[in-house]
Structure 1
């Protein structure tokens, strides 16, 4: 019975001469223990060269995972095609190497042979693979034939920033201009869609049509981990995290804060209201740290910090809160220009003069900063250059995939305009709240 158990474990039914012969031997022979061991090796060798054995061995040797979402509206063969393209472009299957046989892919994906064959035909039509009779299907290219141009995605989160935030609209202009100059295909992607809780196949459906991705704004840790896992070439704009090995184009956020702090300190301000914007925004918090490093000096200079949004209405609300709390300050430093403009408008609506009563300073040097009245003192960041350099860095990554990750820091400079000035006599003491200054002016 020993041989019968070995055979039945690997061959459910005697479908060929070898199996029939082994069944016959099992019925007619009584062998020693040594012969039993040799006999088991013969059975295992037969299993190794059987179709079932080959498939099992191939499954165990494949180091990538195929996931098919049965609930997706994307057809199963299209999901498989996209995932195979991703494996090829990430060099999990190299040019010149064979694809796994159809039966192994069927086992890995749970799809029928007809569905797998349809996906293989798509890969062949796009010029990625070539089938050779008797040998298999081999990878011959990383770029689909249908794509005549390199395809780049631009993702921004939150999506509304492209319309509401002049900073990112100018960055995007730099991206689009550079893409046009280099004849690239550029797609705008909704950042919220990319990080939403949907299936893997939908995200792959978006990303697998791209050669690389430019990301503006801060993404959640879970999405950064996902990007690292799928190894799509990425460049981050205005955000840099040493934890993740991605290329980035940004500015030294702390140095930006130091420029503002140094400027207001030189003007003689001792008490500053700092409107930091969003507390979870890494860039805004780094700017605040830089400002404190340069401006705050115990016993001489201090700042009061209020967190809020990053738009003009946020600036208005934070000024209203500061006045309600009767915080003393002779100058306002804001995390970006739009906050600063909102703060300046609120101060002026309440009867204060800028910069006579209060100096106001922003960061970014967006277009409205120069056209507002008075023109806003701010820190200039090369926004359009940031977009252009992102394209250049991404193309370099596509050309040399294994190059060391690079972070490009763009130059920044203070743009001194008419919204800041020397501290007034009332502001020198740093103890008089602004409502008292306004009351004094009315009298």
Structure 2
């Protein structure tokens, strides 16, 4: 007869009726846990005979009860951007299951980066989530500079971090391009986001993948900045150089909304003359005329998984990187 199987943390959490992260914090004697949760977990531990991991307990004993969401972004429009709003809501929804506080740091400027470094050096946070990194952003090196869990929301352009949550940007853009090619469009253009981001470059690669398989010319390319005004300007430039364009694969819903506005201003009908596909599937896609066919990425889910991965690291576990699936949502624009 073999040794008795040890119960898992998930089993303890299920028996106690609490989240996995809450069970971990109680077991590891972490602070900021309600008395009711603590008592429920302690009962479950006794009933199941659970033995805590000493290394995880040592880490948890040093916790201060807060985590940071750092955005390499300082544009005032950030707080009206539906993408970042959904990310923050997703992160907050997962943290509400714990007693951890959320600190939001805008770290695109030297002052913001200094503030974040000060927080980390003084150990005023148990972990960090990083979002919206561009190019060789110095924030990408945080994981190597500090003895603190760091999770990336979206991969940096020139690095492969150990822990990240991302969407299948390349596959989603390939789906969008294949869709308009399947509609019979042969002069397919792409309007990318900022090419110093991994998301934009991956979506461009997805467009190139589909165009190569179809044997079509991928030279109709313009760049934008993930905004509606940027999309409108890029579409205007495309029409000036490539008036034959009959489909546009946009790097975001905001870019696509700008493209729709420019096409209308130039007397082009959608989808009659030009089919348009966005990327994100945010509320913007429902409020354009016509409504956007777009690639859905689970933005709220990305925020939740980002927080979940960080909580797992704080608990002393070793999660795997995660790529969330994307899918095409068909509406009137293509």
Among residues 314, 317, 320, which one is paired with 1:406 in the alignment? 320
| 2:71 matched residue in structure 1 | 156
Distance 2:213 2:59 in 1: 61
Q: Secondary structure at the match of 1:192?
A: coil
* 8 Å contact kept, 1:237–1:249: yes
Report whether the alignment pairs 1:397 with 2:292: no
How many equivalent pairs are there? 273
Deviation at 1:308, TM superposition (A): 2.2
Deviation at 1:164, TM superposition (A): 4.7
| 1:216 matched residue in structure 2 | 131
Pick closer, same or farther for the CA change 1:283–1:211 going to 2, 3 Å. Answer: same
| 2:184 matched residue in structure 1 | 268
Distance 1:216 1:194 in 2: 16
Distance 1:270 1:396 in 2: 47
TM-score (norm 1): 0.57
Q: Secondary structure at the match of 2:313?
A: helix
Distance 1:142 1:298 in 2: 54
Distance 1:407 1:195 in 2: 30
* 8 Å contact kept, 2:69–2:103: yes
Pick closer, same or farther for the CA change 1:280–1:195 going to 2, 3 Å. Answer: farther
Distance 1:382 1:171 in 2: 10
Distance 1:312 1:217 in 2: 18
| 2:282 matched residue in structure 1 | 366
Superposed CA RMSD = 2.4
Deviation at 1:324, TM superposition (A): 2.3
Report whether the alignment pairs 1:206 with 2:206: no
| 2:93 matched residue in structure 1 | 177
Report whether the alignment pairs 1:416 with 2:330: yes
Deviation at 1:238, TM superposition (A): 2.3
Distance 1:252 1:216 in 2: 16
Distance 1:274 1:370 in 2: 21
Gaps spanning 5+ residues in structure 2: where?
A: 1-57
Which structure has more relative contact order (CA 8 Å, sep 6+)? It is: 2
Pick closer, same or farther for the CA change 1:394–1:242 going to 2, 3 Å. Answer: farther
Report whether the alignment pairs 1:319 with 2:232: no
Matches within 5 A, 1:383-394: 383-394=299-310
Distance 1:196 1:330 in 2: 43
Q: Secondary structure at the match of 2:96?
A: helix
Distance 2:331 2:256 in 1: 13
TM-score (norm 2): 0.75
| 1:335 matched residue in structure 2 | 251
Report whether the alignment pairs 1:381 with 2:294: no
| 2:204 matched residue in structure 1 | 288
Deviation at 1:143, TM superposition (A): 4.5
